[in-house]
A and B are shown apart, each in its own frame.
Chain A
């Protein structure tokens, strides 16, 4: 036992050492972003490069608010994410419930068909969906961004697995008491599925917030853009193309989600792990 303790301490120290080094490396880009955002244009291009600004300034942030639509982009991203999570989640939960708890004709076949569409990469449906939405006049609208996201089957798959884990005795008992499926869904199954639903919400929020290709194609006006699309449009735009402003915009864009992550890290990270289907 005594010999083991010595090598154990070395291992522990090594673990901490490696982790500290890696974490410093990992957090450095973010620190550099903050550092650059607080520097004047001249100071950014002054050697030697330094982390703490000699003359901190909030000009870059002011430019961001005045010359870019950052706040609008934040709002748009948030609204779209909310719509995708709430409406999408409701649709997927109802669908998963039907597949898991209602015995109807052709259930397995239909589920397999839905499942097989999960294999089809999004790029295949990109152009036809764009053309269809164009004919409905939904291009350059938030609705156009949100609608196709409801057809994703991942959420249904995850929730169905979880719902199936809820014992049938519970719903049978409710049946005998005269409850219809909707009652069972709402009062029994949904509350029991809270962890899975939460995990799905996290998963969907993350995907929606970071979605780039589809909003890029659909949204053309700057004031309608989502955050990723809007930020990328700053490149090469006169008046905001300086790295000081770009870093300030990036910082402001990342602040909300980083704060949420720090506040709710345990639940978010647990939800992420769960949504990869490990427990299943």
Chain B
């Protein structure tokens, strides 16, 4: 019996090796190596060709703390996240609740709300640049008709981030709505019936049945959305390029600029590691806070 189990596991190990071989190669090449190498690069002052490659140890990190553009980018990233996540999630939940009961046209509604999600970031950016254009944009046109004075929107440092948030909402809320709809479907009908027998109002059954029932989806969406919001780049790069006056410059954009515009690869690498640290810290905070509600 012992010999059979021994050869069994040797065969298992060989099978495992073969099955894992392809991924092991790409994992080592594109995960392990870059993670380690990235940190090493961050300890150097390096340009893209490697012509300049001086070891500065933690010098880049010190420079980051003294860099006002870094702090501006960090603040902009926070601003974006703080504006977008608390609006996206209730809106997506609201839409999901509206759509969950099948009714005439619900498939069409769902399609329309989800459709922007499949558009590429450039298409979203170009369309919205045109819509929010100060002189010829359709939005200012209608605002004027309603008596609201035309604003500069994307060229104003006060409103530009708000506009980006609104555009992001239009773009992806359908995706989160679909996730919440799947979560809502999992809540057993009996719980709602029990609640209404106990005399609960719609609002009460929402708080005491729906929200707890959605805990899984809510946690998932909240945590992944915050992580995603910290990494916002494409929309900003296409629509405002970080302006005006750096009012929409976000962290990933600053990393991109440093690495591929200024060619300060060491500095950009260090910025990337700081970004990772920040995301890690905030995800842990979220975990702690969300788990406390047990």
Contact = CB atoms under 8 A, between A and B. Distances in A.
B159 interface: no
Contact of B34 (A128, A185, A246): A128
A156 interface: yes
B88 interface: no
A103 to B, nearest CB: 6
A156 to B, nearest CB: 7
B255 A119 contact: no
Interface residues of B, number: 88
Interface stretch (B54-62, B175-183, B205-213): B175-183
Interface stretch (B67-75, B122-130, B148-156): B122-130
Interface string B130-161: 11000010100100000000000000000000
A250 B131 CA distance: 14
Contact of B268 (A49, A127, A253, A276): A127
Contact of A19 (B31, B37, B109, B126): B109
B256 A132 contact: no
Contacts of B268: 127
B199 interface: no
B234 A213 contact: yes
Given A19-B109, A231-B126, A212 B280 contact: no
Nearest to A98: B19
Interface in A162-178: none
Contacts of A72: none
Nearest to B175: A272
Interface string A192-226: 00000000000000100110110001000000000
Contacts of B34: 124-125, 128-129, 132
A228 B121 contact: yes
B122 A231 contact: yes
A147 B13 contact: no
A114 to B, nearest CB: 7
A151 B25 CA distance: 9
A128 B231 contact: no
B130 A156 contact: no
A87 to B, nearest CB: 9
Given A22-B95, A278-B179, A278-B217, A121 B279 contact: yes
B231 A123 contact: yes
A148 B29 CA distance: 8
Interface of A: 12, 15-16, 18-19, 22-23, 26-27, 29-30, 32-33, 36, 44-45, 47-49, 90-92, 94-95, 97-98, 102-105, 107, 114, 117, 119-132, 147-148, 150-151, 156, 180-182, 185, 206, 209-210, 212-213, 217, 227-232, 234-235, 243, 246-247, 249-250, 253-254, 257-258, 261-262, 265, 269, 272-274, 276-279
23 contacts: A19-B98, A22-B95, A22-B113, A23-B108, A32-B127, A98-B19, A102-B12, A114-B27, A117-B27, A121-B272, A123-B231, A123-B276, A124-B34, A124-B275, A128-B34, A210-B120, A212-B121, A212-B237, A228-B121, A243-B130, A276-B182, A278-B183, A279-B182
